[in-house]
Amino acid sequence: MLRTSTKRALVTAALALLAVACGKEGSPPVKGPRPDQLPHYQVAPGFSLPESATWEKAKRRGHLIVGAKEDQPYMGEKDPASGRYSGFDIEIAKMISASLGFDPASVQFRTIASANRETALQNGQIDYYVGTYTINDKRKKLVGFAGPYYLAGQSLLVRTDENDIKGPKDLAGKRVCSAAGSTPYQRIESDHPEADLVAYDTYSVCVDNLLTYQVDAVTTDDTILMGYAAKVPDEMKVVGTPFSKEPYGIGVPRPDNALRFAIDDALAAREKNGDWQKAYDVTLGLSGRKATPAPPIDRYPAS
Amino acid sequence: MNVLTDNFALYGKGFLGTVELTVYASLLALVLGFLMASCRVSPVGSFRALGTAWVTVLRNTPLTLLFFAVLLGLPRFGLVLPFQLFAVLALGCYTSAFICEALRSGINTVPLGQGEAARSLGMTFGQTLTTVVLPQAFRSVIPPVGSTLIALAKNSAIAGAFSVTELLGTYKTLNELGYSVIWSFVWIALGYLIITLTISALFHALEKRWGVAR
Amino acid sequence: MSRALFTESTALYDIPGPKTQRRHLMYGIASTVLLLGLVGWVVYLLFHTDQFTAAKWTPFQYKGIQELLLRGLANTLKAFAYAAVLSLALGALLAVGRLSEHRPLRWIAGLCVEFFRAMPVLVMIFFIFVALKVQPLPALVAGLTLYNGSVLAEVFRTGVNSVDRGQREAAYALGMRKTQVMTHVLVPQAVRAMLPTIISQLVVALKDTSLGYLITYEEFLHAGKLIASNLDYDLPFIPVVLVISPIYIGMCMLLSWFANWVARRQRRNPKTEAVDIGPAEAGTLLPGGRQ
């Protein structure tokens, strides 16, 4: 055992040496929201929410821990080099942090995969979750939803040279990719059984398959698709009108109604003072698409 | 309990997916493994080198990495194939390295004298191989090949984590539909047990019929 | 080159004569040319599909990316270290259970071992992660521990049972109690003899840490994927695979090589003489191969 660990240490050391010896500072050029263009959110001074256990815990910790996605350009994306998160969802998370009395720069983001969102909220890994999280009744039994803060809809992403697909009706015999087990996947499966469905664990693999002509279309919420299209506009485009309604909410631990209502208030205020629009303009807005007006906030009673 | 009855079709599809994946990948692994084992015992140096390289590299590659490379790498060469086929390719190649080693050690268990005796009786290489060496090797490789194929069936779960047409993959859909996760997993586990125990029984029968008396 | 290696006949063929040797040389040259052609074709394809463009490789020059990969590698090794230590502990515990004189204990340990070996390790990891709501690292380590621990328990048990019966009898005849027989006579010899098998099983654990990628544990492959699936870097899947697979395979080969080295040393070691281990591969039919 000693020998192996020594060897392993040697290999690691050699690799580290190699890396330090030839590493360039900074990070590779990326498209996406520029850090210097991001809006600044006013921190609410003296904000206090003693009836929320989550808020109290965050106060003792000194900052919030927020769950997000890491592979959705312009929504929630993690830069591999710097580890920084950016996108519309990230901005929403930051403005709420400011409204809850925490410096938005101090928010600690954590990547949570779709399948584990409820778990992460239930066992307190994260304080709240902002990441293309559609509100529905089944999920409401597991977590609380503040918002909605955006109304997305299922749409189709195709290559720019594709002229045959204009909507879900044109999918007969076409290979369509979506995330395994996701709601968009199940909708195509039940409403358009004539389409040839392909499933992968993440959308970035679907997009990769689209670019390598493995599939003909990728389907999910238009927000996610617009983000990808905006990264390589020469190769991909979003077509048709959205064919579903996906109100995005902010997931909070289910028993913590105080936190839910506080975030509802924060969203309403940020929509009113223009921060919401500013955040949209520097992120998703860069894809050239106008924001769908934010839907009214649903303050459903505690149950 | 109602997780199973409500979603019997889904489970059935997943189960058949796993069975299909296991059968096709096993066939590929057996063929490739046999070829590579032939290479490894061949008198030609470069064949031996190829066999050794194949086995050494694949035995030391994490299967997840192989799936990653095959699934996301091969399409970059313009190779457009259905996912199922990629999965069979990755699983089959990976397992072929273990099959190759099982076959090779099987051939090595045949005593030297057997071949020499056959040749001194005037048998040709083909006769020696098919009537003397292979039948004896076959008997001693039944158990290790059986455990390798059981491992293959279990490894097919990795394909399920990448796509849905497999037993483990069904949990994602069930989770999204809001069913009890624990029960979903109980039935998934049962499905795998059925498959591995079937292979185990099959090879036990084979061993009983043809195995070496120990 | 075949001349030097093949001076002995095998069960399959005699020592080749001069004519056969020439023919083998021809085959060798032909197949080498064919293989080189294949490799050349793959390299051509790599170039042809623009896998060596600057855009795809520049990210690797940056410190941030290198640190991301190294962090991933460190996480992989961390998971491996935990899993290795805990599997050895669990394996020892279960082996003690299986060798116990109390029937219920033997029965429970046997059931555990059989069940965990028959389950795909990934199903266990997912179960712990999704159903028991555990964080990625503990879920991965727990899954690997249950599986490898059960396999190692069988390895330990076989090792102890294959120590020459005279050793056990002699120890009892000296008046040693069962614990003493185990700890002073049987286990030291068994472990020494089974060391290569134990290390090989650890290679399996090292390979299986990559399953953490599937439950969003931020290990080596996860770091690679984060880079590979970034549209800004022109989706460098092939470059990522070319960078990370030699490191993965190298680590596993190093450990495998170590196992072989130990095995070679053991064969000459008088301390393992009394342990009779069957041929390495031709085991009985187990629902859990060593892979």
Neighbours of B82 (CB within 10 A): 13
CB contact under 8 A, B169 and A181: yes
Torsional class of A291: left (φ above 0), alpha (ψ -120 to 50), beta (otherwise):
beta
pLDDT at C280 over 50: no
Residue B142: CATH number of its domain: 1.10.3720.10
CA separation for the pair A171, A181 (Å, rounded): 19
- The structural domain count of chain B equals 1
Q: Which residues of B touch A141 (CB under 8 A)?
A: 178
Percentage of chain A beyond pLDDT 70 is: 89
Residue B85 is assigned to a structural domain of this protein: yes
Instruction: Give the Cα separation of C250 and C257 in Å (integer).
Output: 10
Whether residues B61 and C127 touch (CB distance < 8 A) is answered with no
In this structure, what DSSP letter does residue A293 have? P
Minimal C-alpha gap between A190 and chain C (Å) = 26
> Which residues in chain C have Cβ-Cβ distances shorter than 8 Å to B115?
9-13
pLDDT of residue C274: 67
pLDDT for B21-79, tens place per residue? 999 999 999 999 999 998 888 888 888 899 999 999 999 999 999 998 888 777 777 67
Binding-site residues on chain A for chain B (CB distance < 8 A)? 115, 138, 141, 180-183, 186, 198-201, 205, 208-209, 212-214
CA-based nearest residue to B161, from B58, B71, B46:
B71
pLDDT of residue A32: 63
Set of chain A residues whose Cβ sits within 8 Å of the Cβ of B178: 138, 141
* Per-residue pLDDT band at C75 (split at 50, 70, 90): very high
Answer positive or negative: Cα dihedral of C277, C283, C286, C291: positive
Other CB atoms within 10 Å distance of the CB of residue B116: 15
Task: Please give the Cα distance from A157 to C230 (Å, whole number).
Answer: 17
Q: What is the pLDDT of residue A11?
A: 56
Please report whether residue B51 resides in a domain: yes
DSSP code of residue A287: G
A115 CB neighbours in chain B (<8 A) are 172, 175
Q: Check residue A12 and give its pLDDT.
A: 55
Place of tokens 């005849």: C173
Q: Please give the residue of chain B at the shortest CA–CA distance from A141.
A: B178
Residue C229, helix vs strand vs coil: coil
Residue C153: pLDDT band by 50, 70, 90 thresholds?
A: very high
- Paired tokens of A224: 């996610």
In this structure, what token pair is assigned to residue C169?
């009898």
Show the domains of chain A with their CATH numbers. 35-152+247-287 (3.40.190.10), 154-239 (3.40.190.10)
DSSP string, A180-214: TT-HHHHHHHHH-TTSEEEEESSHHHHHHHHHTTS
| B193 or A123, greater pLDDT | B193
Highest-confidence range of A18-22, C79-83, C211-215, by mean pLDDT? C79-83
> What average pLDDT does the segment A261-267 reach?
91
Backbone CA torsion sign across B37, B42, B46, B47: negative
- pLDDT digit string (tens) for C96-111? 999 888 899 999 999 9
DSSP state of A43: P
Q: What angle do CA C103, C107, C108 make, to 5 degrees?
A: 120
Q: Is C77 on the interface with A (CB under 8 A)?
A: yes
Phi and psi, residue A195, nearest 5°: -80, 150
Q: How far is B79 from chain A (nearest CA, A)?
A: 8
Q: Output phi, psi for C21, to 5 deg.
A: -60, -40
**C247 has a pLDDT exceeding 90:** yes
Tell me if A19 and C67 make a contact (CB, 8 A cut-off): yes
B205 min Cα distance to partner chain C (Å): 11
Report strand pairing: A65-68 vs A128-129.
Answer: parallel
Higher pLDDT, A8 or C77: C77
Q: Which chains touch B (3 or more CB pairs under 8 A)?
A: A, C
Q: Give the model's pLDDT for residue C151.
A: 92
Q: Which residues numbered 1-40 in B keep a CB inside 8 Å of some CB on C? A: none
State the complex-level ipTM: 0.88
Phi/psi of residue A181, nearest 5 degrees: 75, 0
Cα of C53 to nearest chain A Cα, Å: 15
Six-digit token string for B75:
């399409």
CA nearest A113 in C: which residue?
C216
Collect all residues with Cβ–Cβ distance below 8 Å to A27 and sequence separation of at least 6.
A79, A81, A82, C62, C64, C65
Burial code (b: 16+ CB inside 10 Å, e: under 16) for C259-271 equals: beebbeebeeeee
DSSP letter (8 states) at residue C71: H
8 Å CB contact of C119 and B64: no
B105 contacts chain C (CB < 8 A) = yes
What local confidence, expressed as pLDDT, does residue A14 receive?
Answer: 56
**CB neighbour list of residue C151: distance below 8 Å, 6 or more residues apart:** C91, C117, C201, C204, C288, C290
* CB-based contact A23 C135, cutoff 8 Å: no
Q: Report DSSP state, residue A52.
A: -
Residue numbers of the domain that contains B135: 16-163
Query: How close does chain A come to C241, measured CA to CA in Å?
Result: 15
Distance CA C226, CA A79 (A): 9
Q: Which residues of chain A are within 8 Å of residue B76 when distances are taken between CB atoms?
A: 212
- Indicate the angle between helix axes C63-98 and C136-161, nearest 10 degrees: 40
| A·C CB contacts under 8 A | 107
Cβ-based contacts of A183 with chain B (< 8 Å) = 176
- Write the residue in C127, C224, C285 that is nearest to B146 by C-beta: C285
How distant is the Cα of C283 from the closest Cα of chain A, in angstroms? 26
Domain membership of residue B211 (yes or no) is no
> Of B80, B161, B173, which is closest to A213 when you measure between CB atoms?
B80
Check pLDDT > 60 for residue A6: no
Q: For the domain C60-272, what is the CATH code?
A: 1.10.3720.10
* Angstrom distances, CA of residue C171 to CA of B186, C161, C185, C278: 46, 15, 7, 24
